[in-house]
């Protein structure tokens, strides 16, 4: 019982930081406005780790590889810690098992990225009905617009209602069910 509580605490804390570093990466990737209070919060929360890592891992073509690398390393560390707490024999695991753990961490990072996009689409859709002029709106628009724009071209407005978020959420769900779940299963088979 104590082991389950400890695993819950580890997953919660690690996932919060992983999401913060992923958000930093995606905000910079999508050229989100930095003057937004939420962007500044994410920057201030993650600066302690990103600045030193940037000395070792520089950006490439405008991508913040330091933030992405930290998110992946945190995901990898979390999985290793959870496996250790679950009495997985890490010391005698072979190279295939460690390759599976690396693949599993990449699949989990991809899954978390898709969940972040899903959350951004849902929050943006809700705010467009409740408060479209919130300071969070430009930030959410910069994150979701590259995905919503193609869906809007396929499905026009119906009585003034935009159904493109439903299409994007449907596609995200399919991606989580098919390729991401397949990667996780493949990694699981390599580990166990």
Which tens digits make up the pLDDT trace of 96-115? 788 899 999 999 999 999 99
- Parse the chain into domains and list their residue ranges: 2-191
The region, left, alpha or beta by phi > 0 then psi within -120 to 50, assigned to residue 62 is left
Which tens digits make up the pLDDT trace of 30-82? 988 888 899 999 999 999 999 999 999 888 887 899 999 999 999 999 999 99
pTM for the full model?
0.90
Helix (H, G, I), strand (E, B) or coil at 36: coil
CB-CB contact of 144 with 117 (8 Å): yes
Average pLDDT, the chain: 92
Q: pLDDT-derived band of residue 95, with 50, 70 and 90 as boundaries?
A: confident
């Amino acid at each position: 019982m104590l082991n389950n509580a400890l695993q819950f605490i580890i997953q919660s804390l690690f996932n919060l930081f992983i999401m913060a570093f992923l958000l930093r990466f995606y905000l910079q990737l999508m050229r989100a406005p930095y003057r937004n209070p939420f962007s500044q919060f994410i920057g201030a929360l993650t600066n302690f780790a990103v600045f030193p890592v940037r000395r070792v891992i520089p950006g490439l073509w405008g991508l913040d590889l330091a933030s992405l690398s930290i998110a992946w390393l945190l995901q990898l560390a979390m999985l290793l810690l959870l496996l250790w707490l679950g009495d997985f024999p890490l010391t005698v695991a072979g190279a295939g098992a460690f390759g599976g753990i690396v693949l599993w961490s990449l699949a989990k990072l991809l899954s978390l990225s898709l969940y972040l996009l899903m959350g951004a689409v849902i929050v943006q859709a809700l705010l467009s009905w409740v408060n479209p002029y919130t300071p969070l709106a430009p930030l959410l628009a910069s994150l979701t617009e590259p995905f919503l724009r193609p869906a809007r071209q396929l499905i026009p407005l119906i009585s003034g209602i935009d159904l493109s978020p439903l299409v994007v959420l449907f596609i995200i769900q399919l991606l989580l069910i098919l390729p991401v779940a397949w990667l996780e299963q493949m990694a699981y088979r390599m580990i166990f």
